[in-house]
């Protein structure tokens, strides 16, 4: 029932670490560990994502809700037209259809816990014209997107 955490490696006993491929897909240096894969009365998956220093998650939107808590390090999150610094403990609810992306600071990891429904729609990656429209929102978003 207990999956012990190893603080030296940010891994959990008996949990596989999935390393994303670095093949030109729109994320960089991200790993995923599935800590919980649902119970009869909790139809949700709880995952730990880790972004290496300077890395970032996919710029995406989808119908399903994300419930996120930062668990390691420092970085920024883009939510629609705002960029906010994030640190351990910060709690983020990302509603349906909101564009979002996580980025680790250059010298630091950012790791986050993320809860989703087991039954969810596929992630939609933003297209080039949508990214240009995002950049046009304000200079902070533009600088964020150009750094990824």
- What residues are labeled active site? 114
**How far apart, in Å, do the first and last CA atoms of the chain sit?**
39
User: What residues contact 3, with CB distance under 8 A and at least 6 apart?
Assistant: 12, 13, 14, 15, 35
Nearer to a copy of itself (CB atom), residue 1 or residue 21: 1
Of 65, 130, 131, 135, the one binding a copy of itself by CB under 8 A: 65
Nearer to a copy of itself (CB atom), residue 115 or residue 125: 115
Residue with tokens 């008996």: 14
Nearer to a copy of itself (CB atom), residue 20 or residue 36: 36
Task: Give φ, ψ of 126 to 5 degrees.
Answer: -70, 140
CA distance linking residue 133 with residue 53, whole number of Å = 27
Please report whether residue 2 would count as binding a copy of itself according to CB under 8 A: yes
Binding site for a copy of itself (CB under 8 A): 1-5, 7, 12, 35-36, 39-44, 46, 63-65, 67, 69-71, 77, 79, 84, 86-96, 98, 113, 115-117, 120
């Amino acid at each position: 029932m207990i999956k012990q955490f190893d603080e030296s490696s940010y891994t959990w006993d008996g949990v596989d670490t999935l390393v994303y491929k670095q093949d030109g897909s729109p994320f960089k240096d991200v790993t995923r560990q599935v800590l919980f894969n649902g119970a009869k009365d909790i139809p949700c998956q709880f995952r730990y994502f880790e972004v290496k220093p300077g890395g970032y998650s996919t710029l995406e939107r989808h119908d399903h809700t994300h419930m996120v808590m930062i668990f390691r390090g420092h970085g920024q999150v883009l939510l629609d037209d705002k960029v906010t610094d994030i640190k351990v403990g910060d709690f983020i609810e990302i509603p349906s259809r909101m564009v979002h992306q996580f980025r680790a600071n250059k010298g630091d990891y950012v790791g986050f816990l993320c809860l989703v429904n087991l039954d969810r729609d596929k992630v939609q990656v933003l297209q080039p014209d949508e990214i240009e429209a995002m950049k046009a929102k304000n200079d902070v978003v533009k600088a964020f997107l150009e750094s990824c």
